[in-house]
Homo-oligomer: A and B are copies of this chain.
């Protein structure tokens, strides 16, 4: 039986599980891959650092290039842009197929790397870059090759999902939930990449490129994090039958592709509403298939290693039997819509003076900007020490462009003129305090 040389770059949580599984199931892998898979070296920056017991010290090297140059298949699990990018391009130029889990790299340099793979006639696989063990790259790249994708909606970041879960189920504040996540190792000391939505945005860019066969970069994704989410918002959402999730959304609209990552109200019956903790899920609506969902652990050493190894088997198969991975992916030219053009339902919460006519005045501002209202709820009336009582309004809109919504908000913030009702003094221009606005997903 043929033997394929595998070089591993990186020996962290995922890398050590890749080594363990490859060794424990060596015979199975040989049958499935059509060749023995031999790890010829594991490149790390510091060979003296303590490692997982699965990692044989004799395989460690700080000379990545020498193992890359000998390899048939290079598994890149270092993360970050450099030197990962240089190593991957070097591997491809030398004729090795590449398996990577590097979402940051693909979100930024994806098209360059896809082109390099095609030019070198080698394969590139990256199932582990999005959704851990969830086979969503596969799903979009191959299972939906017979269909046209209309939208991709995902819960793709376990850290924020854990934080929002804690806020929802245990009533914690954002700061408390983040601290818990950090103590449990679910969030990093600097949580920016997760809580500001950049991790989810990178995954969104990768999935959208696949779904719409179009070059999409990280900066095309309008991104908003969860730092502003308050327990009050979560409680109000719950009362109305929603849960707050950090949703990554990529939709085909009549005039282009709409991309955003941000907190959204997800209806409790929606498949994404039941995705908890470190689990990820992706819901794909397409022309012919209606709705598919892929669900599973979105992170973790061994689930992610399983995704890496399915790619290794596919890459090995091609090395042994010929053919190549789907390559003709980025052939579309759909424009990416600006954030302002993107459309959604929205929910706004605002405090207004509780006077006769205020509701008519507010709804007329929405109407003026073409934003149609689907529901208004007056949640409570707070006594104030000066002037009028104040009401908390929750306004849910039908689908509107973000621009129209932002214009509406700007005008509301300037204050609204209310006509005096009979026998009352002219209330003049009343202040409107908008405490939050958030997207609302359709059921």
Question: Per a CB cutoff under 8 Å, which of B148, B306, B318, B331 touches A147?
Answer: B306
Tell whether, in the assembled complex, residue B310 and residue A146 are in contact, meaning their CB atoms are under 8 Å apart: yes
Question: Per a CB cutoff under 8 Å, which of B146, B292, B302, B310 touches A144?
Answer: B310
Q: How many residues of A contact B (CB 8 A)?
A: 57
Closest to A316 in B: B145
Tell whether, in the assembled complex, residue A307 and residue B146 are in contact, meaning their CB atoms are under 8 Å apart: yes
Contacts of A348 on B, CB cut-off 8 Å? none
A291 within 8 A of B: yes
Tell whether, in the assembled complex, residue A289 and residue B274 are in contact, meaning their CB atoms are under 8 Å apart: no
A134 within 8 A of B: yes
Write the A110-139 contact mask toward B (1 if CB under 8 angstroms, else 0). Answer: 000000000000000001000001110011
Contacts of A139 on B, CB cut-off 8 Å? 135, 138
Closest to A146 in B: B309
Tell whether, in the assembled complex, residue B309 and residue A300 are in contact, meaning their CB atoms are under 8 Å apart: no
Identify which of A25-33, A153-161, A255-263, A391-399 touches chain B.
A25-33
Question: Per a CB cutoff under 8 Å, which of B127, B135, B148, B271 touches A25?
Answer: B148
A195 within 8 A of B: no
Write the A14-39 contact mask toward B (1 if CB under 8 angstroms, else 0). Answer: 00010001000100110110100000
Contacts of A21 on B, CB cut-off 8 Å? 146-147, 288
Contacts of A308 on B, CB cut-off 8 Å? 146
**Known: A127-B143, A138-B142. Contact between A306 and B289, CB under 8 A?**
yes
Tell whether, in the assembled complex, residue A32 and residue B145 are in contact, meaning their CB atoms are under 8 Å apart: yes
Tell whether, in the assembled complex, residue B17 and residue A288 are in contact, meaning their CB atoms are under 8 Å apart: yes
The docked-state distance in angstroms from the alpha carbon of A45 to that of B17 is 55
Q: How far is the CB of A133 from chain B (nearest CB, A)?
A: 4
Identify which of A2-10, A177-185, A321-329 touches chain B.
A321-329
Tell whether, in the assembled complex, residue B321 and residue A321 are in contact, meaning their CB atoms are under 8 Å apart: no
Closest to A318 in B: B323
Tell whether, in the assembled complex, residue A133 and residue B313 are in contact, meaning their CB atoms are under 8 Å apart: no
Closest to A30 in B: B328
Q: Give residues 255-308 of A contacting B (CB, 8 Å).
A: 271, 274, 286-297, 300, 302-303, 305-308
Q: Among A139, A289, A294, find the residue whose CB has the most chain B CB atoms closer than 10 A.
A: A289
A193 within 8 A of B: no
Contacts of A148 on B, CB cut-off 8 Å? 25, 28
Contacts of A326 on B, CB cut-off 8 Å? 32, 317
The docked-state distance in angstroms from the alpha carbon of A359 to that of B147 is 59
The docked-state distance in angstroms from the alpha carbon of A208 to that of B317 is 22
**Known: A289-B297, A290-B300, A303-B290. Contact between A312 and B146, CB under 8 A?**
yes
Contacts of A274 on B, CB cut-off 8 Å? 271, 274
Contacts of A165 on B, CB cut-off 8 Å? none
A311 within 8 A of B: yes
A150 within 8 A of B: no
Closest to A132 in B: B289
Write the A334-353 contact mask toward B (1 if CB under 8 angstroms, else 0). Answer: 00000000000000000000
Tell whether, in the assembled complex, residue A328 and residue B34 are in contact, meaning their CB atoms are under 8 Å apart: yes
A314 within 8 A of B: yes
Closest to A321 in B: B323
The docked-state distance in angstroms from the alpha carbon of A318 to that of B317 is 12
Tell whether, in the assembled complex, residue B303 and residue A297 are in contact, meaning their CB atoms are under 8 Å apart: no
**Known: A142-B314, A326-B32. Contact between A293 and B293, CB under 8 A?**
yes
Contacts of A294 on B, CB cut-off 8 Å? 292-295
Contacts of A331 on B, CB cut-off 8 Å? 31
Q: How far is the CB of A21 from chain B (nearest CB, A)?
A: 6
Q: How far is the CB of A18 from chain B (nearest CB, A)?
A: 9
Tell whether, in the assembled complex, residue A306 and residue B31 are in contact, meaning their CB atoms are under 8 Å apart: no
The docked-state distance in angstroms from the alpha carbon of A271 to that of B143 is 22
Q: How far is the CB of A278 from chain B (nearest CB, A)?
A: 10
The docked-state distance in angstroms from the alpha carbon of A321 to that of B21 is 31
Q: What are 15 sample pairs from A and B whose C-beta atoms fall under 8 A apart?
A: A25-B148, A28-B148, A146-B306, A146-B312, A147-B306, A287-B302, A289-B296, A289-B297, A290-B297, A290-B303, A293-B296, A294-B295, A317-B323, A321-B324, A323-B323
Closest 5 CB pairs of A and B: A323-B323, A146-B309, A135-B143, A322-B322, A288-B306
